Amino acid sequence: MKICVIDDDPVYIFTVGHLLKHISFEGEIEVYKDGKEAFEGLKESQMRGDRQPELILLDLNMPVWDGWDFLGEYEKLQGAADAAVYIASSSDHPDDVSRAEQHSLVKGVLLKPLTADILKDLIAALRPREKL
């Protein structure tokens, strides 16, 4: 399994990595600091034929491209709907939650900080979809 973390907060990125180790995640973790970097990286990866992420943890408030900018471009990529995209935000603003719930690629909104149990549940739910 491949997980993509798109977030500009180094503490959050470190924490997610630590939690994944804590739950013995043995898959691949890809990290991007903003939406544009993520889109370009995933597009390049797709063009090379590399494995695409099954899970994307996406922050909304980032420099360059925010989470919404990323989603607007990412949804144009072939196979984008195959990834489970979760908004991971420190804000539960009703407008953001409503917009996320209406977006076809977004599977849910997670309030930061994430926990080991949340990550474990997300991964367990995706395992049957994983291509071996």
Q: What is the CATH number of the domain that holds 114?
A: 3.40.50.2300
What pLDDT shows up at residue 130?
Answer: 52
Asked, for residue 52, whether it belongs to a domain, the answer is: yes
Total domains, the chain = 1
Q: Which residues are CB-neighbours of 68 under 8 A, at least 6 positions away?
A: 60, 99
Which runs of E-coded beta strand occur in 62-105? 84-89
Range of the domain at 108: 2-127
Place of tokens 């997300």: 122
Instruction: Say if 92 falls within a structural domain.
Output: yes
The pLDDT tens digits of the residues spanning 96-132 come to 889 999 999 999 999 999 999 999 999 999 976 554 3
Alpha-carbon distance of 81 to 60, in angstroms, equals 19
pLDDT tens-digit readout, 26-57 = 999 999 999 999 999 999 999 999 999 999 99
- Whether 58 and 71 have beta carbons less than 8 Å apart is answered as yes
Does a structural domain hold residue 132?
no
pLDDT, residue 129, reads 56
Buried b (16+ CB within 10 A) or exposed e, 101-132: eebebbbebbebebeeeebbebbeebeeeeee
Indicate whether 76 belongs to any domain: yes
Residue 88: other Cβ atoms inside 10 A? 24
Buried b (16+ CB within 10 A) or exposed e, 36-57: bbbbeebeebeeeeeebbbbbb
Q: Is residue 117 part of a domain?
A: yes
Instruction: Choose among 41, 50, 7, 27: nearest CA to 119.
Output: 27
| pLDDT on residue 131 | 47
